[in-house]
Amino acid sequence: MKARQLAVLVLASVALAAPLAAQNLQYDLAIGYQWVDLDGNPDVYRTQTGEKDGFRLDSLNLLLTDTKGTPGYDRLRLSAAGLGSGPDQRLRLDVGRSKLYSLRLNYARHEVFSSLPGYANPLLGSGIWAGQHTLDRRRQTIDLDVELFPNRMLTPVFGYSRHTYRGPARTTLHFGQDEFRLASDLDETVAEYRIGLGFAAGGFRGSVVQGWRSFDSVNSMTLAPGAGDGNNLRPVLGTPVVSDHMTLRTRSRVDTPFLNAYVTGRLLDRVRLVGSFVRSDAESKVDETGEMTGHFASFALQRFFGGATQVGTGKAENLNWRGEGRVEVEIVRGVDLVAGFRTSHRELDGHSLVTERYLDTVNFSGALPGDITQVLRATTAWERDEDLIEAKLVVSPVTWLRLWGSAGKIDQDITITPALAEIVVPGNQGGVFERDIDRVSGGAELNFGVIAFGGDWTKDDSDQTVVRTDFTERTRLRGRVTVKLSDQLRVRGVAEKIESSNPTQGIGYKGEVKHWGANLELKPIEAVTIRGGYDSYRSDSRINAFVPYPPAPIRSRYSEDGTNVEGSISAMLGRFTFGVGANRYTNDGDFEFDLDSRYLRFDVGITDQLGVYGQIERRTYDEKALPAADFEADRYGLFLRWNGK
């Protein structure tokens, strides 16, 4: 949002509030300017934070209630944040009149920027730091919901949403035995309409909403300036591979009607029922065109060629529905039973047709000129039915103890029909599969006032796997402890461990995730608060894989080992408030980096309604394997705040 639009919003808010100042009015406004001083890689900094110089509406909150002389509404709430130089901007309006209507309007704008020199950069070894896969786009969303006669027996509801995602990007295309850099421009829109009815009768309430969602996306790509030589400068069989023209265009359209319904209520004093049903049926169509000219090679055709045209179409249907119900029963005081059932169905099938025409071809010896046309037809289908039944018993024999245990079973029926053209490894990838998963879990909570403990355990066992990363056994263990000594000291600690495995011959998948941490809050005196925290995250996964060239089996491993340490002190001395803090995140796994941030914040109250606050932040990033990605940035902000009733 530009500065002019920001000024209009602030002035409009003040004008709205002025004639109502004598009524029930609450407001606060904070507006100012921020500066960024950067040393190092600006693209990596913007990828991580998106912060930049400029005017900024840090926050705006306006609340009007019991308005007299305004027949249109009797309450109005307006809030906004980040407008101006903020990468994430939001605006919310909530207005209504008691027993007549309620309206909620939300607007959000998010800058999506990504430029990482070490990501998918084939020229990194040559000292070229600019990554070839980048994004510089904007995502905007508008959501409107209206209720008529709220909190009545019948409440009609209406809704509209519009989401857009637009902007340029850079990407690459592997074609003709080389890889070429392309400039991309995306224009994507999602529009959604909703109409439904809410109801409340006796002890039951719920809603039924029918909606229609449309998706339209156009992505246009062209050869980037100066990219005609490709990334591979070595000739193929003594002949350079070059391109003087490339254009590709993809348009995707999806129409999805959907239905959402739920109901909840009490059947008896000790019996509560909950039910829901969702269904969507998407139909999609994709059209692709491409035109390339230059001098290319193809090992599959065993030919050189001077250009190609591609035309592709695809259609797919995706039906999903899920229904579930739950009953909660208080058997006796301190003993509760929860039983639930869920059934779901997913069906995906589609077909595609791709026609490629290779122009001015000759074989590798320079003979047999001519054009070649290839046609690829593919039809695939995936269908899955899943049923879950689960029961949970909760027992609280005394006030300081709560115990629970549950057992459940998941039945999956999966049918896969792959296209022959898509099978690239030996073996049958299609078929009918039946998979059963047994789940048991339990937990306990003990609360002695000053100290409280809690923990839970879950184990899943499967009789077989369908895809390589499916588990045959998975276990999760979690624990937590809380210590509270009046209002002066609070300590919380958590620990979690997840293990999953698939020992099937040829797969040998094994994964483990560990997390533990603690945080502390200390108030030695009423005006001073000290906080500290520590977290450790570790993940490790291994699976058998196969390298196609030279052909050889390998043991693939991925691991991360991250730690996060943070601390802060804040104090309030009359009208003066300040706070300092620091945070350090370190990863010693496959992707090694250090991220440090430190801040200073202060607030000076000039009057009861007027004040000034500011913030200084330093952010330092150090990537071990790629110093070109490092940066050190200072961000300064100074804001004026105004609040009152």
Half-sphere exposure of 394 (CA within 13 A, CB side): 12
Distance between CA 459 and CA 439 in Å, rounded?
6
First-to-last alpha carbon distance for the chain, in angstroms, is 28
Give me the mean pLDDT over the 620-628 stretch: 88
Contact call for residues 430 and 416 (beta carbons, < 8 A):
yes
What is the structure's pLDDT at 9? 52
What is the structure's pLDDT at 424? 44
Distance of CA 294 to the CA centre of its chain: 40
Contact call for residues 511 and 527 (beta carbons, < 8 A):
no
Assign 20 to helix, strand or coil. Answer: helix
What is the structure's pLDDT at 423? 46
Assigned token pair, 161: 């949403």
Identify residue 429 by its one-letter amino acid code. Answer: Q
Distance between CA 39 and CA 55 in Å, rounded?
22
Q: What mean pLDDT value characterizes the chain?
A: 89
Assign 480 to helix, strand or coil. Answer: strand
What is the structure's pLDDT at 130? 66
CA triple 135-138-141, angle to 5 deg: 140
Partners of 482 in beta bridges: 452, 492
pLDDT digits (tens, 9 = 90+) for 312-348: 999 999 999 999 999 999 999 999 999 999 999 999 9
Distance between CA 6 and CA 597 in Å, rounded?
29
Cα-trace Rg, the chain: 30
Higher pLDDT, 105 or 3: 105
Res 411 pLDDT > 50: yes
Among residues 537, 577, 579, the alpha carbon closest in space to that of 561 is found at 537
What is the structure's pLDDT at 122? 60
What is the structure's pLDDT at 440? 97
Distance between CA 276 and CA 256 in Å, rounded?
19
Distance between CA 174 and CA 165 in Å, rounded?
26
Res 22 pLDDT > 90: no
pLDDT digits (tens, 9 = 90+) for 100-127: 999 999 999 999 999 887 666 665 565 5
Q: DSSP characters for 107-134?
A: EEEEEEEEE-TTSS-TTGGGT--S-SSE
Distance between CA 355 and CA 68 in Å, rounded?
69
Non-local (6+) Cβ contacts of 542 within 8 A are 508, 509, 510, 511, 555, 556, 557, 558
Distance between CA 36 and CA 636 in Å, rounded?
6
Q: DSSP characters for 217-280?
A: EEEEEEEPTT-TT-S--S-BTTB--EEEEEEEEEEEEEEEEEEEEEEEEEEETTEEEEEEEEEE
Most confident of 60-74, 109-123, 350-364, 611-625: 611-625
Distance between CA 480 and CA 492 in Å, rounded?
7
pLDDT category of residue 505 using cuts at 50, 70 and 90: confident
Res 427 pLDDT > 60: no
Distance of CA 622 to the CA centre of its chain: 25
pLDDT category of residue 431 using cuts at 50, 70 and 90: confident
What is the structure's pLDDT at 425? 45
Among residues 520, 533, 594, the alpha carbon closest in space to that of 561 is found at 594
